[in-house]
Amino acid sequence: MLRRTVFLMLLAAAPAWAQTLSQTLPNGMKVIVKEDRRAPVAVSQLWYKVGSVDEQQGKTGLSHALEHMMFKGTPAVPSGEFSRRVSALGGQNNAYTNRSETVYFENVAAKNLPEVLKMEADRMANLNFSDKEFANEMSVIREERRQRTEDNPFGKLWEHIYLNSYQTPALRAPVIGYMNDLHALKADDLRQWYRQWYAPNNAVLVVVGDVDARQTLKTAERLFGAIPAKPLPPRNTVSEAAETRPASAQTESAVTRQPVLALSYRVPKLTRIDDKMPYALDVLSDVLGGNASSRFDKNLVRGRQAALDIGVNYDMFSREMPLFSIIAMPAGGTGEQELLEMIRSEIADIARNGISRTELERVRTQAAASEIYAKDSMSAQASLMGRLEARGFSYGDEAELRRRLQTVTAADVQAAARLLTPERSSVVVVQPAQVQPEYVKKP
């Protein structure tokens, strides 16, 4: 009886700490606030729906470069002051850019949230950086590219995955931009990019934490509501034919002793809630490479010891045509082509014979557990809501999306495996660079 009473008390208490409210301001900005009163902190995430797929040839890297410049000040908050003030409030802040969006986030004591939102609203409308600051920051970005792409085998691998998988320039370009473009960009290019895309009608604000949802909506409206909407430029085409001839490419890296390889397939994204294939592809990715009990790990890493590591990447919420990518590093004694055939054989086995009930139940259980763990993080909750809103869905779709993932059948997964055909595929291999022996002069 006591346990039942406690359970009913928890049910009754749930709305008090988990209320979620949203509002679209007259200028088009979406604001979502979720109450979570387990700790006196709040997470703020401001999502701008612009990333590398929105850029043009010769101007790659604009979105990422502008992310850096957003910390270079406004008349009210001079360069460097944004992060210093957040730190002085006991908080943390950062930002990131990906192919689809640019996101600015802060984690602060809930009582200091209005001050953080005030600064975010200020730099949405009043960014002001000098040509000198631009030149200095571009040097930093070029060094970042050297470290993360040119001197990193996996960074180089991912750059060549997109180059090899697509023909459309906007889909091929790396988020950080090509090095030639990073030398050619001008400060006015970034100022124009800012004026084009940084508008309330191209942004979503998500707040999760120990806040009053209604009051926080009012605060957001007071701070952001007067910023005028802007006409947005036309978007690039972000899809192309899924089936073409198989493609392959090879490059090298001086900082790896083992080859790394990627087998990628052009596959569908989720465009409507009731699409079936994207859910099946998501489950297939977990069956193949979700964890230590997945097929690749069990059969190729621990079983045949043919690979040191294998992972699977698929994002069904992608704005552009997504890739279903298998990333692997062969073990010593296993050639990359040999490992590729083993990977293809695992996929073909599912396409022919399907998966077991045990495998399907394991993936469902892991998905349910991940949902529970995600709710323990305010940042994870905010990120999922922002991602759904930025990618054309609603934060309110979360429960239905999870429900549909749980209803994927073994036959659906088998159909997804059959979709991974050679005509959709591309292969990239990064080989260890051959180091030339130093010339030693004989005495």
How far is Cα 206 from Cα 43, in angstroms, rounded to an integer? 8
Q: What is the pLDDT of residues 7-17, one digit of tens each?
A: 333 333 344 44
Same domain, 196 and 330: no
CA nearest 184: which of 66, 87, 58, 29?
58
On whether residue 442 sits in a domain, the answer given is no
Please provide the distance, in angstroms rounded to a whole number, between the alpha carbons at the two ends of the chain.
92
Q: What is the pLDDT of residues 311-344, one digit of tens each?
A: 999 999 999 999 999 999 999 999 999 999 999 9
Same domain, 61 and 146: yes
The last residue of a domain, from among 192, 225, 258: 225
Burial code of 250-280, b = ≥16 C-beta within 10 A, e = fewer?
Answer: ebebeebebbbbbbbbbbbbbeeeeebbbbb
On whether residue 237 sits in a domain, the answer given is no
Same domain, 256 and 201: no
Structural domain of 140: 20-225
Same domain, 215 and 306: no
**CB–CB of 263/323 below 8 Å?**
no
Mapped onto helix, strand or coil, the DSSP state of residue 242 is coil
User: How many Cα atoms are found within 13 Å in the side-chain-facing hemisphere of 163?
Assistant: 15
Q: pTM, whole model, 2 decimals?
A: 0.92
CA nearest 364: which of 407, 313, 414, 416?
407
pLDDT of residue 9: 34
pLDDT of residue 435: 58
Task: Give the domain CATH number at 374.
Answer: 3.30.830.10
Catalytic site residue 252?
no
Same domain, 124 and 177: yes
On whether residue 206 sits in a domain, the answer given is yes
Same domain, 216 and 325: no
On whether residue 6 sits in a domain, the answer given is no
Same domain, 291 and 195: no
pLDDT of residue 434: 78
Q: Which of 67, 137, 320, 336 is catalytic?
A: 67
On whether residue 412 sits in a domain, the answer given is yes
On whether residue 236 sits in a domain, the answer given is no
Same domain, 54 and 166: yes
On whether residue 7 sits in a domain, the answer given is no
How far is Cα 399 from Cα 410, in angstroms, rounded to an integer? 22
Provide the Cα torsion 376, 382, 385, 387; round to 10°.
-120
The last residue of a domain, from among 225, 260, 293: 225
Q: What radius of gyration do the chain's Cα atoms show?
A: 24
Which tokens belong to 71?
A: 């910390």
Identify any residues that bridge with 102 across adjacent strands, giving them in sequence order.
48, 97
pLDDT of residue 374: 85
pLDDT of residue 362: 93
Which tokens belong to 335?
A: 């050639």
Domain count, the chain: 2
pLDDT of residue 438: 45
CA nearest 274: which of 385, 404, 399?
404
What are the DSSP calls for 39-60, one per residue?
A: SSEEEEEEEES--GGG--TT-T
Same domain, 154 and 117: yes
Which residues lie closer than 8 Å to 115 by C-beta, 6 or more apart? Answer: 85, 89
pLDDT of residue 291: 82
Same domain, 182 and 311: no
Same domain, 168 and 95: yes
The last residue of a domain, from among 193, 225, 257: 225
On whether residue 298 sits in a domain, the answer given is yes
Same domain, 159 and 271: no
Residues of the chain with pLDDT under 50: 1-17, 436-443
